[in-house]
Every structure is written in structure tokens, then in C-alpha cells.
């Protein structure tokens, strides 16, 4: 073709968004009937303008890590402390707090919280989502109750599954490896006019840790199966409906840990395994009223079913009404009497002394010393309904208001923990304003009001100021307050064991009521966090480098630190903790084949209760090198390390090699993952040990 004239760029300035009527009539501008898709309400702040620290684990990282579980992936997040109570009970804490519990982090799957309010925990192994369905994980490092509600105290893990529209075709994956790893994944995606769906099924099996500190086999295997359905429907050009169903069933082995109170008891059960079932359903309706105003309504229902019935043995005296009465009057003294039943200490209080004598007589001559075994039922069932409405209004090009309301109903049912059923209702109102004052300054602030029937109300503010040196380089200062509501267990526990099927049969005893009973205080306040952060986020696009740095100082007051045990459980708000330090996150794409990633966190933790500082490694981090070698070959080398989590060092190097083959119209990926521990320490707790420093697993994945 010819161009007969030199180019003449027209200097007449057209409105940036081509919205003017003159343009709308222009015969030569195409596609004026297109919907405005990336509206001011949909577009988010650029990385440099985010009001806090954020780590995004994208699909490339997730795949390259070879991780089987979300907690292992979270090792790639600076400041995240990954521990294990057992191999099927991971605990994830940001910066720290209790090593065996992770109660201070919010975890969401596509906007649905999987934090179990009843027992204040996240069952990472039981979350009904397959890693293969995850598109990315966004970790908001820091408190953010304004955006995510109470319990977003120290961090928020936002798991986003792949859109059904991006899941078409068939995917099949099998993995085998050391420690009995035997996983599968299968998914099918379908599309039709105005809708898409993905159905996936997955399963996992492994043997867990190999042995405990005494060298005996460790009972912590797991087996699980999941099924997920995710559907996205286009109702109209400005409305979508998303709905998801998820179900998971499985069993988690638990060792028998009951220690008999009374002497001469050698009989014991052999496990305390849990059968875990999770069900979830959610529905979300999005509507764009116009390019400045959008709204969504999301409702979800979840059910967590944990069946844990196990056989325990102790002396028949455990079920003595007299001992129970003694416990209720003075639990310390009752424990002394029980532990020294052959010669129990006397007491000045005549009532206690009379009960002591009665118990002693039962032990000596009324069959109290006979060993009996029975079924302990520690099962729980929790149900949650959640309804949220959120409105996004772009008031001007530079001012956006997010506001909304949330209602949540939680119910926990457990004979052992709650002596029946307990429920709670929580209301939440939130609002956040984002103001781009000029091209350098962004001010984002908001507040949340929450009222819970069991734990009262709270108001938490948050303010962030970002200064953009250029659009890709920003400094930030953030102050936020956040709260965590005490969960039903901490506040309202009514803990007693009824033991069934006693053997040998005890006449007159029927179902045994174990003498130890514990009540929660019922008047606990919310834990309160004050967090301060200074940070820098920069993208050096010419060399492909992204960098994020931050320093922080966080204080938690009114902290509920007491471990969840049934002997003398007295929860209180009497503890405090402080976390300060710095974090680095670097992601560097060197050319088209290499990607380097580095994270590091220095955390200085202090806590009034020693338990709350043990889950903080002073130095922790990760390093990764991902390379595409061409011809379908790729490799990923990762290092993970922390200097002391619960006093145990942890260092590991992973190498994953993968080869992608194109067979007709399908893709086959064969991969091998070699994991090498660089130390001989147990993992988090003394009993968590592997036989060998090395572990190998292989996987094959077919897509067509």
C-alpha cells in the first residue's frame, strides 16, 4: 500500500476516554457499542499505591514450587511462619504468636472465610480447595479488619480460584512420592452461551511424619477426597452470577495422647483419629449500574463436621460423682487427690476432706481402682451462614468509596466442648475512601464497626498514605487498628467428657461423666492490635525488577494466650505481645527465561506469655530461581529457611524439573521434585521427624 503524504499526527486533543458526543457520532470510530469493562470501580490501585504490604503468589510460582498444600506455598511469603502440630495439622502465623494454634489470620476462598469461628482455627488440611484450582493467592501482610472483618488481625490470605471461563478442557494429574504421597486431580471445564463451569475432583494421601522423638512410628497420616463445582453465568451485559459448591471428606490420623490420671493404669487406646467433612456453597451476584457504580451481594453457607470418637482408659474412679464435686469446689486439690490417690493429701476444709475420704474409699474398696475403657466423643459440628453486600462508587476520577454490610451466623454443636449447641450472630458495617489527591499522593482510610452477640462491639480505623515518586515507585505509611473476637471455645467453652460403652461394665455408672469439667469465662473482650508500617514498593520495569520493603511495629493487647487444654483452663485478656522488624520481597524477571525471587523477614518478637513468642523465627526467608530451558524443559530451585521456629532450625532446598510434551492436541507435563533438608532438626515440635533428609516425588499432568 502507498502512503502519498508524510504522516500528520493530529494535534487536536481528544478526550482521553472518547466520551464526547462529537466522537460518539464519528463515522470512523468503531465499536462504540462496547461495554465499558475496566471501569473506575473495577480498577484497583497499582502495586505502588496499595495501602499496605501485599504478596501475590501467581500460578507460575504455585506450579514451580511443586507444593501440595497451601501452608507450604506460604513459605514464599515474607514473615509467614509455617509450623506443624502434626503433618496433617499445619499452623500458619504471620510474624508469630502461638505455635500450635493460628488464630489471628483471616483466610478466604473467593471471598468466603474458612476461619472456623467455633474453635478459632483454620484446618489447612481440610479446606475444600485443590491447589490445582487456585489461580493465585494474595496475602495482605498486616491487619485489615476494615476490608476483611474481625480476625484479619495479623494478615489475610486471599485464595482466588481460577475462573471457570479459564478452565476449559480436561486436566488430569497424578502424583506419587516418598512418605506415601498419592494424589490425584481431575477437572473438566465447559462453556456455553453466557456461562462457564468447572467441575474438579481431587484426592490426597500421605503417611505424614515418620517417627517421634522416641523413634516410634508417628500416627499422622491423612487421606482426603474433594469435589468442587464453580459456575459463572452472565445474566446480562452488566450482571454476573457466580456460584460454587465444595465438599470434602477424609480422615486425619491422630495419635493416642491421653495420659491416665490414676496410677497403675497401663491399658490404652491406640488412636484419636478424626473423620473430617467440609461442605460449602456460595453465591455471588455482581452488578454494574454504570461505569462509576457497582455492587455485589454474596451469600455463603458452610458446614464443618469433625467426628472424633476414640477409646481411652483410666481407673473407674475417673467417673466418681464425689471426685467431680471435689473438682468443682477446688480443681487444684482434686487433681492432687487424683494423682496421689494411694495416699491423697488431707485438707483443712471439712467439705473437701469429706469428699477426699469418700473418693479414697471408692478407690480402696468400691472398685474405683479398676481400669475401664470407654469411647470419648470429641466430635464437633459447625455451621456458618454469611451474607455480605458491598458497594463501590467512583465519585470522581480520583475519589472512590467502598462501603458495605455483613451479617454472619455461626453455630457450633459439640457435646464435649459446649454441652450441646452454641450460636453467635455478628453484624458488620464498613466503609473505605480512596482519594488520589494528586499524581503523587494517595490517601486511603476507612473504618469498620462490628457487633457480635457473644463478644460485644468494636470500632476499628485504618489510614494509609502513599506517596508515588513515579507511578511505579511508591512510599507508604500505614496505621491500622484491628480486633479479633474471642471464639466460642475461648469464651464459652463448657468442657466435659461423657464416656460411652464403658468396659468392663460399671454397675450404676452407665455413661461415665469424667470428673474434669471446664467452663469458659464468658466475658472475654476482643484482642486489639495496633499496627504501624512504613514501606516502599517499586518496579524497575526496564530490568524487570519488583521490590517491596517494609518496617513494622505491631502491638497486641488484651491477648488471649492460654493454651486450649481442659485442665484448669482459665482464659483471660491479660497478655500482650509486640512484633517489630523488617521485610524484603524481590521478584526479578531476568530476560524471558529466568525469574529470581527473594524474601526475607527479620522479626523481633516479645510476648508476656512465652507461648506467644515461640512461633517467631528471628530470621526467615526464601530464595527461588525459575528457568525455562526451552524445548519444554523447565526447572525451579527454591531455598526455604528460618533460624528457629519453636527453637528448631528449618532449612530446605527443593529442585523441581519438568518437561512439557505436546502430543497431538494435548499437553503432558512430567515433573520430579527433590526436597533436601539441610539440617536434622524436628519440624516445629519434638515429635515431628522424618527418617531421611531427602524426599522425592514425581507427577504427570495431562491437559487436553
SS in 3 state form for 353-364?
Answer: HHHHHHHHHHHH
Separation between Cα atoms, residue 157 and residue 134, nearest integer Å: 13
For the CB of residue 2, give the shortest distance to another protein in the complex, in Å.
4
Q: Of 511 and 593, which has the nearer Cβ to another protein?
A: 593
Q: Of 197 and 601, which has the nearer Cβ to another protein?
A: 197
Q: Other CB atoms closer than 10 Å to residue 673's CB: what's the count?
A: 24
Angle at CA 701, nearest 5°, toward 696 and 704?
A: 175
- Residues 370 to 399 in contact with another protein, rule: CB under 8 A: 397
For the CB of residue 666, give the shortest distance to another protein in the complex, in Å.
12
For the CB of residue 703, give the shortest distance to another protein in the complex, in Å.
8
Q: Of 25 and 631, which has the nearer Cβ to another protein?
A: 25
Separation between Cα atoms, residue 157 and residue 80, nearest integer Å: 11
Let me know: does 556 contact 605? Beta carbons within 8 Å: no
Q: Binding another protein by CB under 8 A: which of 138, 165, 297, 686?
A: 165
Q: Of 20 and 263, which has the nearer Cβ to another protein?
A: 20
Sign of CA dihedral 187, 192, 196, 197: negative
Collapse the DSSP code of 418 into the 3-class scheme (helix H, G, I; strand E, B; otherwise coil) and give the result.
Answer: helix
Q: Binding another protein by CB under 8 A: which of 37, 236, 346, 663?
A: 37
Collapse the DSSP code of 649 into the 3-class scheme (helix H, G, I; strand E, B; otherwise coil) and give the result.
Answer: strand
Q: Binding another protein by CB under 8 A: which of 21, 35, 215, 507?
A: 35
Phi/psi for 387 (5° steps) reads: -135, 125
Collapse the DSSP code of 703 into the 3-class scheme (helix H, G, I; strand E, B; otherwise coil) and give the result.
Answer: strand
Q: Integer distance in angstroms from the first to the last C-alpha of the chain?
A: 42
CA atoms within 13 A of residue 454's CA, in its CB half-sphere:
25
Q: Binding another protein by CB under 8 A: which of 268, 472, 517, 689?
A: 472
Residue 397: closest CA among 468, 469, 291: 291
Contact string 480-519 vs another protein (x = CB under 8 A): ----------------------------------------
Distance, CA of 254 to chain centre: 21
Q: Of 9 and 350, which has the nearer Cβ to another protein?
A: 9
Separation between Cα atoms, residue 654 and residue 694, nearest integer Å: 10
DSSP output for 572-603: -S-EEEEEEEEEEEEEEEETTTEEEEEEEEEE
Collapse the DSSP code of 652 into the 3-class scheme (helix H, G, I; strand E, B; otherwise coil) and give the result.
Answer: strand
- Residues 43 to 62 in contact with another protein, rule: CB under 8 A: 43-49, 60
Q: Of 373 and 626, which has the nearer Cβ to another protein?
A: 626
Q: Binding another protein by CB under 8 A: which of 166, 594, 679, 691?
A: 166
Contact string 654-673 vs another protein (x = CB under 8 A): --------------------
- Residues 574 to 633 in contact with another protein, rule: CB under 8 A: 592
Residue 453: closest CA among 413, 411, 414: 411
Query: Is residue 236 part of the contact set for another protein (CB under 8 A)?
Result: no
For the CB of residue 625, give the shortest distance to another protein in the complex, in Å.
19
Separation between Cα atoms, residue 428 and residue 433, nearest integer Å: 17
Q: Of 30 and 680, which has the nearer Cβ to another protein?
A: 30
Angle at CA 43, nearest 5°, toward 37 and 44?
A: 160
Query: Is residue 438 part of the contact set for another protein (CB under 8 A)?
Result: no
For the CB of residue 412, give the shortest distance to another protein in the complex, in Å.
37
For the CB of residue 236, give the shortest distance to another protein in the complex, in Å.
12
For the CB of residue 40, give the shortest distance to another protein in the complex, in Å.
6
Q: Binding another protein by CB under 8 A: which of 431, 461, 544, 632?
A: 544
For the CB of residue 590, give the shortest distance to another protein in the complex, in Å.
12
Separation between Cα atoms, residue 127 and residue 120, nearest integer Å: 14
- Residues 14 to 33 in contact with another protein, rule: CB under 8 A: 14, 16-19, 23, 25-33
Separation between Cα atoms, residue 673 and residue 68, nearest integer Å: 11
Query: Is residue 259 part of the contact set for another protein (CB under 8 A)?
Result: no
Stretch that binds another protein, among 9-17, 331-339, 450-458, 493-501 (CB under 8 A): 9-17
Separation between Cα atoms, residue 587 and residue 596, nearest integer Å: 6
- Chain residues that interact with another protein, rule: CB under 8 A: 1-14, 16-19, 23, 25-40, 42-49, 60, 135, 165-166, 168-169, 191-193, 237, 397, 436, 439, 470-472, 539, 541-542, 544, 592
Amino acid at each position: 500500500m502507498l502512503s502519498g503524504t508524510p504522516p500528520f499526527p493530529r494535534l487536536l486533543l481528544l478526550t482521553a476516554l472518547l466520551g464526547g458526543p462529537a466522537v460518539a457520532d464519528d463515522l470512523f470510530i468503531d465499536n462504540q457499542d462496547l461495554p465499558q469493562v475496566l471501569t473506575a470501580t473495577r480498577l484497583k490501585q497499582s502495586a505502588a499505591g496499595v495501602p499496605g504490604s501485599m504478596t501475590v503468589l501467581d500460578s507460575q510460582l504455585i506450579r514451580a514450587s511443586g507444593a501440595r498444600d497451601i501452608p507450604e506455598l506460604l513459605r514464599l511469603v515474607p514473615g509467614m511462619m509455617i509450623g506443624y502440630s502434626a503433618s496433617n495439622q499445619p499452623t500458619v502465623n504471620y510474624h508469630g504468636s502461638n505455635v500450635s494454634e493460628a488464630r489471628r489470620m483471616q483466610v478466604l476462598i473467593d471471598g468466603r472465610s474458612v476461619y472456623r469461628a467455633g474453635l478459632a482455627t483454620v484446618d489447612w488440611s481440610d479446606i475444600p480447595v485443590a491447589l490445582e484450582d487456585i489461580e493465585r493467592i494474595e496475602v495482605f501482610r498486616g491487619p485489615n479488619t476494615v476490608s476483611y472483618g474481625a480476625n484479619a488481625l495479623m494478615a489475610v490470605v486471599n485464595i482466588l480460584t481460577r475462573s471457570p471461563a479459564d478452565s476449559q478442557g480436561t486436566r488430569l494429574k497424578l502424583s506419587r512420592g516418598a512418605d506415601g504421597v498419592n494424589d490425584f486431580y481431575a477437572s473438566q471445564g465447559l462453556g456455553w452461551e453466557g456461562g462457564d463451569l468447572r467441575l474438579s475432583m481431587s484426592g490426597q494421601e500421605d503417611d505424614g511424619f515418620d517417627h517421634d522423638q522416641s523413634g516410634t512410628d508417628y500416627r499422622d497420616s491423612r487421606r482426603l477426597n474433594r469435589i468442587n463445582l464453580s459456575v459463572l453465568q452472565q445474566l446480562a451485559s452488566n450482571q454476573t452470577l457466580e456460584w460454587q459448591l465444595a465438599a470434602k471428606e477424609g480422615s486425619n490420623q491422630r495419635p493416642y495422647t491421653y495420659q491416665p490420671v490414676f496410677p497403675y493404669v497401663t491399658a490404652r487406646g491406640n488412636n484419636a483419629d478424626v473423620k473430617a467433612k467440609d461442605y460449602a456453597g456460595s453465591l455471588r451476584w455482581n452488578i454494574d449500574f454504570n461505569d462509576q457504580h457497582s455492587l455485589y451481594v454474596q451469600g455463603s453457607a458452610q458446614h464443618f463436621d469433625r467426628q472424633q470418637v476414640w477409646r481411652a482408659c483410666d481407673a473407674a474412679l475417673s467417673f466418681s460423682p464425689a471426685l467431680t464435686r471435689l473438682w468443682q469446689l477446688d480443681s487444684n486439690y482434686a487433681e492432687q487427690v487424683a494423682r496421689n490417690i494411694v495416699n491423697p493429701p488431707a485438707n483443712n476444709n471439712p467439705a473437701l476432706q469429706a469428699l477426699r475420704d469418700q473418693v479414697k474409699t471408692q478407690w480402696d474398696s468400691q472398685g474405683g481402682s479398676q481400669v475401664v475403657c470407654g469411647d470419648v466423643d470429641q466430635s464437633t459440628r459447625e455451621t456458618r451462614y454469611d451474607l455480605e453486600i458491598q458497594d463501590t462508587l467512583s465519585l470522581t476520577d480520583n475519589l472512590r468509596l467502598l462501603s458495605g454490610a455483613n451479617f454472619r451466623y455461626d453455630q457450633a454443636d459439640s457435646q464435649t466442648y459446649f454441652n450441646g449447641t452454641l450460636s453467635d450472630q455478628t453484624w458488620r458495617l464498613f466503609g473505605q475512601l480512596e482519594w488520589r489527591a494528586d499524581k503523587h499522593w494517595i490517601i486511603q482510610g476507612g473504618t469498620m464497626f462490628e457487633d457480635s452477640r457473644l463478644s460485644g462491639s468494636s470500632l476499628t480505623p485504618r489510614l494509609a498514605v502513599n506517596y508515588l515518586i513515579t507511578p511505579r515507585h511508591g512510599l507508604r505509611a500505614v496505621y491500622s487498628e484491628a480486633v479479633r473476637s474471642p471464639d466460642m471455645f475461648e469464651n464459652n467453652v463448657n468442657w466435659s467428657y461423657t464416656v460411652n460403652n464403658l468396659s468392663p461394665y460399671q454397675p450404676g455408672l452407665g455413661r461415665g461423666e469424667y470428673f474434669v469439667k471446664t467452663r469458659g469465662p464468658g466475658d472475654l473482650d476482643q484482642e486489639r492490635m495496633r499496627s504501624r508500617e512504613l514501606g516502599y514498593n517499586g518496579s524497575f520495569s526496564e530490568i524487570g525488577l519488583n521490590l517491596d520493603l517494609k518496617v513494622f511495629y505491631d502491638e497486641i493487647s488484651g491477648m488471649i494466650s492460654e493454651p486450649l487444654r481442659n485442665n484448669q483452663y482459665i482464659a483471660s485478656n491479660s497478655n500482650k505481645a509486640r512484633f517489630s522488624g523488617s521485610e524484603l520481597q524481590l521478584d526479578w524477571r531476568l530476560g524471558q527465561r529466568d525469574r529470581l525471587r527473594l524474601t526475607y523477614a527479620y522479626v523481633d518478637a516479645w510476648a508476656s506469655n512465652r507461648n506467644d513468642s515461640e512461633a517467631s523465627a528471628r530470621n526467615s526467608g526464601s530464595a527461588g530461581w525459575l528457568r525455562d530451558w526451552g524445548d519444554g524443559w523447565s526447572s525451579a530451585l527454591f531455598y526455604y529457611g528460618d533460624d528457629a521456629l519453636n527453637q528448631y532450625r528449618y532449612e530446605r532446598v527443593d529442585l523441581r524439573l519438568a518437561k512439557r510434551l505436546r502430543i497431538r492436541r494435548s499437553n503432558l507435563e512430567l515433573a520430579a521434585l527433590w526436597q533436601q533438608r539441610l539440617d536434622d532438626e524436628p519440624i516445629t515440635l519434638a515429635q515431628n521427624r522424618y527418617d531421611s533428609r531427602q524426599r522425592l516425588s514425581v507427577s504427570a499432568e495431562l491437559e487436553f
